[in-house]
Chains A and B, each alone.
Chain A
């Protein structure tokens, strides 16, 4: 059974700080990795996806993938209160397996 693990948090960071979110996955053959943001009562919205080992940057967000360690992370620079949400890690292509999510609070 494919598993995706996240620290459920809650994680609190002050405004302007870097938030670091982590995720591990069990299926070594996984090829595609996604980070979604979900506000309460809303459906997930895609932040980033990554396929290759290393870092991928998009604005204030950086995804990091280490396939050898089966680990993927998301860094949010210059965190804003509007970033407060639950962040979901997902693995797969087509059929996604989601982690349980990490609740992030950015304190003004």
Chain B
């Protein structure tokens, strides 16, 4: 099956700093990657859709200047949380779409804690 990795799996940072999360498709090329956020006991909320070589498309209410997404290659997308605040603490999950197929492949998630 297709494998998607995320790094780091867990990160703690101080308020006001920036954090970068990487999402990699290990054994396939992903033209599209998606970034989700999940608060405790809540469902996944789509933040943005990332296409290789173009600007990400953000969902309503997601600040594009705060959550910077770069999809520089067909196997790597990054999410940078800039000037993080405690309310940004969440579980961030990426997924990758192979050949515009139906199934998305989810990464293991990154737990961000902002102190």
Query: In the complex, which of the residues A42, A95, A99 contacts B43, with contact meaning CB atoms closer than 8 Å?
Result: A99
State in angstroms the CA–CA spacing of A44 and B106 once bound together.
7
Note all chain A residues with C-beta closer than 8 A to B43. Answer: 88, 98-101
Question: Are B103 and A49 in touch, CB under 8 angstroms?
Answer: yes
Nearest-CB residue, chain A, relative to B109: A43
Question: Are B44 and A44 in touch, CB under 8 angstroms?
Answer: yes
The A contact surface, by secondary structure, is loop
The B contact surface, by secondary structure, is strand
- Give the number of residue pairs across the A-B interface with Cβ within 8 Å: 43
Query: In the complex, which of the residues A41, A49, A88, A98 contacts B102, with contact meaning CB atoms closer than 8 Å?
Result: A49
State in angstroms the CA–CA spacing of A95 and B97 once bound together.
10
Query: In the complex, which of the residues A44, A45, A95 contacts B49, with contact meaning CB atoms closer than 8 Å?
Result: A95
Number of chain B residues whose Cβ lies closer than 8 Å to a Cβ of chain A = 20
Q: Which one of B46, B107, B108 has the greatest number of beta carbons of chain A within 10 Å?
A: B46
- One digit per residue, 1 when the CB lies within 8 angstroms of any chain B CB and 0 when it does not, for chain A 19-51 equals 000000000000010000000011111100100
- Chain A contact-residue range equals 10 to 19
Q: Kindly list 8 other residue pairs between chains A and B, CB separation below 8 angstroms, not including A43-B106, A94-B100, A96-B34.
A: A42-B109, A43-B93, A44-B93, A94-B49, A95-B34, A95-B46, A96-B46, A97-B46
A and B contact pairs by CB, cutoff 8 A, 9 listed:
A43-B93, A43-B108, A44-B44, A44-B93, A88-B43, A94-B104, A96-B34, A96-B104, A98-B44
By a beta-carbon cutoff of 8 Å, the part of chain B in contact with chain A is 32, 34, 42-46, 49, 91, 93, 97, 100, 102-104, 106-109, 111
